Structure 1
Amino acid sequence: MEVPHRVGMLVYPDAQLLDIAGPLEVFARTARWLQARRCLAVPAYSVELVAASAGPVATSSGIAVVARHGFETEEAFDTLLVTGGIGYASACRDAALMAWVARHAARVPRLGSICTGALVLAAAGVLDGRAATTHWDYLDLLAAQAPGCRVDREAIYVRSGHVYTSAGVTAGIDLALGLVEQDWGRAVAVAVARELVVYRRRTAAQAQVSRFLEAERRGDRFGELQLWILDHLGGDLSVERLAQVVAMSVRNFSRQFRARMGETPAAFVLRLRVEEACRRLEEGGASLKDIARQCGFADEQALRRAFRRQLGVLPQAYRRHTTAA
């Protein structure tokens, strides 16, 4: 790159500070990493804030950020992101802001939103005919406000053409790392994630609500059972054992489980075991034999069969892809 890739972030009163700082720090850290490791003469990225008018903008945390540009300045950004936060509703009613978003959405090469920033894009008509996501607690609102949008209720972030939307708050970091990977490759994205001490870079398709949180939200015997399963993935999780844990007959348990969970107990357990095996493979170190045993598979061959059936790849290939640096 001969000039920095300009990343702009649209901010407004009562925006979420982490929605702003998290993604922008990814780009800034990437620029520093590339200058130090690749000896780039020019920073790979520059980051700038834009608001209705240049100057300080108060976030919902009480900390103010300073916008360099106002709407009167027609800046040409390479990537434009829209923050989320509790101020999104007021932003959606701001005619000048809506007009500015719609105008720039039509010409910026890459447009994205963090968390409830997707509702701002929806209000500006940007998401019509596109797939999108947002914070899990606002998915129904996004579907209601943008009936022409295909709402993805699971993904960490979604790409639809040149428009990217991310799930809640810290998912903006995952989106930013995904954009860095597009620009500079996976090795750079992984290295930056490590410098930021991000536990791991989540893929776009990874569920935004963890199985533990999902189980805790249920608040019924099946939620308690789900937590129990997650703590006993390496043990006996036959339908007989699960029915015993919740003190139900096998027949009644199987029927109620499928009605409430949308799949059979065996399919549910297998999915959780594969997800846990994925996590352990991404962490590296453990052998396939150990991972198979820890996740409740009979042997390595059973692990391979489950991966091929559910993910379409073998465990070794999955590990190489997710740990390459």
Structure 2
Amino acid sequence: MCEDRAMAVFTRPGLHKVAVLVRHGLLPIELGIPHALMGRARSATGERLYEVVTCAVAPGPIRTEGDFTVNVDHGTEALAEADTVIVPAAHDRDEPYDRGAMNPGLTEAFARIRPGTRVASICTGAFVLAAAGLLDGKRATTHWRASERFQRLFPSVRLDSDVLYIDEGSVLTSAGIASGVDLCLHMIRRDHGAAVANAVARRTVVPPHRDGGQAQFIRRPVPEPRVSSTGAARAWALRHLDRPLTLRELAERESMSVRTFTRRFRDEVGMSPQQWLTQQRIERARQLLEESDLSIDRIAAQAGFGSASTLRMHLQTALGVSPSAYRRTFRTGAAADTGNGTGMATDGSR
């Protein structure tokens, strides 16, 4: 019976076979990503390029993070036939996310994957790949909120929590949920070229390639110290970010020498006054890009960067994107933010 099922898993000879391995606690949206993108990829003549199936260690109802289950017909026999295996995230008490080790069922499942098969993860699915030993000594990424736990559990993996996805050849990892879209489009592009990937992106109404990395999605407010001797200067600086602010001015607000102020500031905040000012100006610029109709030049002035080119340099360094790209991503009503009705940047940022 098992052999009959194995023969029936993939039914279209010649297509690239993709098996999506799901577990209890599945995030349903992540299951849909490979089906919606790779399942819709077509050649120039309209022929399907991938066959995508869902499988589980034990076929049957799989609990999701929502209030419903997903009925999975296929077991691990699909892994033995697959050319690509994709592991989405799952939130369940039996996950490697908490323990750093796989349960016996997952271990046996991974043993069925053929050598040379491409294996990829979406979001915290990277914990499964790491627990299976597939990421040892390799670069990898996962959701930024899980990065500290990942590094603690898997110190042999070179984690980069700033990028959207990482391609290490036969093993690929991606960041949060939406990065699964970026990853699948990348695999399509790698397999069949940009034209096919772009056509899938247009059909799905997603960008074929996103600028930047996870850093643009992370807020990093500076925690206020419990006891502060430089807090008044920081509060004053926040009210005057549009001005050129000198270290002497800040020190004078606290009636300190520059040397004493700098030392106490670093002790209380964990960075130099100049670094703190740059961070606060970036946060002010992000807020204005998201919430205002101001031009990039006006935002640069109000955030204290002086010029659009200086703002672009700092935003690119900190977040990996230009002001226009950031605004298109995060602005409420983003398609209308350029003022020309096209959704294209008008400030020269790329």
Q: CA deviation at 1:94?
A: 2.5
Q: 1:151 to 1:314 in 2, by over 3 A?
A: closer
Q: 1:139 to 1:67 in 2, by over 3 A?
A: same
Deviation string 1:264-303 (CA, Å, 9 cap, x unpaired) is 333454467679879999xxx9976456446543235545
Q: Which runs of 5+ in 1 are unaligned?
A: none
> Aligned equivalents of 1:158 and 1:20: distance in 2?
20
Q: 1:137 to 1:207 in 2, by over 3 A?
A: same
Paired residue secondary structure (1:154): coil
Q: Could you tell me which residue of structure 2 aligns to residue 89 of structure 1?
A: 94
Q: CA deviation at 1:103?
A: 4.5
One-letter code aligned to 2:221: A
Verify the 8 A CA contact 2:82 2:117 in the aligned structure 1: yes
One-letter code aligned to 1:6: K
Q: CA deviation at 1:23?
A: 5.0
- 1:121 matched to 2:129: yes
Q: What does 1:1-325 correspond to in 2, within 5 Å?
A: 4-22=15-33, 24-28=35-39, 31=40, 40-87=45-92, 89-90=94-95, 92-104=101-113, 106-109=115-118, 111-182=119-190, 183-185=192-194, 188=198, 191-192=201-202, 195-196=205-206, 202-203=210-211, 205-207=213-215, 210-211=218-219, 214-215=220-221, 218=223, 235-236=242-243, 238=245, 243=250, 254-259=262-267, 263-270=271-278, 289=297, 292-293=300-301, 295-300=303-308, 302-303=310-311, 310=317
Of 271-280 and 70-79, the range deviating more from structure 2: 271-280
Q: Percent identity?
A: 29
Verify the 8 A CA contact 1:8 1:77 in the aligned structure 2: yes
Q: 1:7 to 1:190 in 2, by over 3 A?
A: closer
> Aligned equivalents of 1:232 and 1:194: distance in 2?
44
Deviation string 1:159-202 (CA, Å, 9 cap, x unpaired) is 33332222343433343344345454398189449715x7x964
Paired residue secondary structure (1:127): coil
One-letter code aligned to 1:235: D
> Aligned equivalents of 1:220 and 1:189: distance in 2?
51
TM-score by length of 1: 0.67
Verify the 8 A CA contact 1:7 1:79 in the aligned structure 2: yes
Of 11-20 and 65-74, the range deviating more from structure 2: 65-74
Q: CA deviation at 1:16?
A: 2.3
Q: CA RMSD in A?
A: 5.1
Deviation string 1:220-276 (CA, Å, 9 cap, x unpaired) is 589x99x989x98972362559959x9785655543554566543334544676798
One-letter code aligned to 1:166: S
Q: 1:17 to 1:291 in 2, by over 3 A?
A: same
> Aligned equivalents of 1:257 and 1:193: distance in 2?
52
Q: CA deviation at 1:51?
A: 0.7
> Aligned equivalents of 2:203 and 2:271: distance in 1?
35
Paired residue secondary structure (2:128): helix
Paired residue secondary structure (2:66): coil
> Aligned equivalents of 1:101 and 1:15: distance in 2?
18
> Aligned equivalents of 2:201 and 2:288: distance in 1?
19
Q: 1:239 to 1:153 in 2, by over 3 A?
A: farther
> Aligned equivalents of 1:233 and 1:68: distance in 2?
62
Verify the 8 A CA contact 1:128 1:149 in the aligned structure 2: yes
> Aligned equivalents of 1:120 and 1:3: distance in 2?
29
> Aligned equivalents of 1:194 and 1:74: distance in 2?
27
Verify the 8 A CA contact 2:182 2:209 in the aligned structure 1: yes
Deviation string 1:41-89 (CA, Å, 9 cap, x unpaired) is 2134443211113333221323222334211345433332112222273
> Aligned equivalents of 2:108 and 2:288: distance in 1?
47
Q: Which runs of 5+ in 2 are unaligned?
A: 1-12, 330-343, 346-350
> Aligned equivalents of 1:191 and 1:233: distance in 2?
44
TM-score by length of 2: 0.63
Count of aligned pairs between the two proteins:
304
